[in-house]
Every structure is written in structure tokens, then in C-alpha cells.
Amino acid sequence: MKKNLPEFYVEICSPDSKYDVTPIYDTIKTLEGVYAGLPYGSSSGRWGDSGSTWTAQHGTPSGADITYYSRYEDVFYRLNVDFPIDIIKDYMERAYARIDDENGETQEYKKLGRAHKSSSGNAYDSFSDLVFGFAPKGMVVVWLNFGITRIEL
């Protein structure tokens, strides 16, 4: 079943290493109802980019239920959110430009559908990464990555 589902990678980051958080419980909700989750361990990297990837997850991300510990603040937080379904479905159909089209008619994005796979010969990248950014006071930012294009959800 997973072979027919779209693939994506998950990253967790924080603004600075002193603000690292550690997930205690996590589930990434998917439209297909299959399990997806966060990488093991604590946040890393820099704001918007953990610098590492984890095992591919499957499905269309539609929300998250995450309990995490902030060492910096010595407090637990819980994020339980559903992403706007219409927006997610729209983004999952898109592929964003990374190089100019050969014909010189580059568009910001094209609707190529979820079946589209990015390749080195293609000028457009489809959704590839879901990035969670954890900041002090329980602030969480979620980004969708399309190759070099990052969109805040």
C-alpha cells in the first residue's frame, strides 16, 4: 500500500541550539490515515532547516499531534493541529520552478499532480519535505519544501 502513496521527509528544527526541543509523542496526520511521524531525537540545524533527513514517510500530511519538551524553558508543550485541507490538496498538486524552462516560459509553479516525481531533467520540484520549527513559548512554524522553494504553512 505504501508504494502507491506519496512520499515525503520530515525535519525538526529550532532557531538556535540552545532552544532545542525533544518530541515525546508524535503523529503526523495523513489524509490516507496511514501513520507518519517525526525523526527520532531532538531538533537540530537552523531555523527552517534541520540539516538532516529521516526515513521517508507516506501519505498526504493533513495535521500533527505532537507533545514535546523544551529544555530551555523546562516545560512540555502540545501541538494538535489540522492543516487546511483545501490548501494542502492545492499544494500537493503543485511543482515549483528551480531552473528556467528550456522554452524560457518559466512559471512560479505548475499543477503537475502528486504522481509527478522530481528529477534532474525537470525544471520543477514537487513537495518533498515537511519541516517543523519549534521556538520558545510554544511557537511552532510548519514549512512545506519543494526542492529549493520553502512555503510557510
Q: What is the pLDDT of residues 2-32, one digit of tens each?
A: 567 889 999 999 999 899 999 999 999 999 9
pLDDT at 102: 67
Whose CA is closest to 53, among 11, 23, 116? 11
Q: Closest by alpha carbon to 27, among 125, 132, 118, 128?
A: 132
Instruction: Confirm if 85 and 99 have CB atoms less than 8 A apart.
Output: no
Asked if 63 contacts 32 with a C-beta cutoff of 8 angstroms, the reply is no
In the structure, how many helices (H) and strands (E) does the chain have? 1, 11
Cα 141 vs. chain centroid, distance in angstroms? 10
Integer CA distances (angstroms), 53 to 9, 103, 149, in order: 6, 34, 17
Mean pLDDT across 68-83: 97
Fill in the DSSP letter of residue 19.
G
- Computed over every residue of the chain, the mean pLDDT equals 88
Predicted pLDDT at 77: 98
Tens of pLDDT, residues 109-146: 788 776 555 555 567 888 999 999 999 999 999 999 99
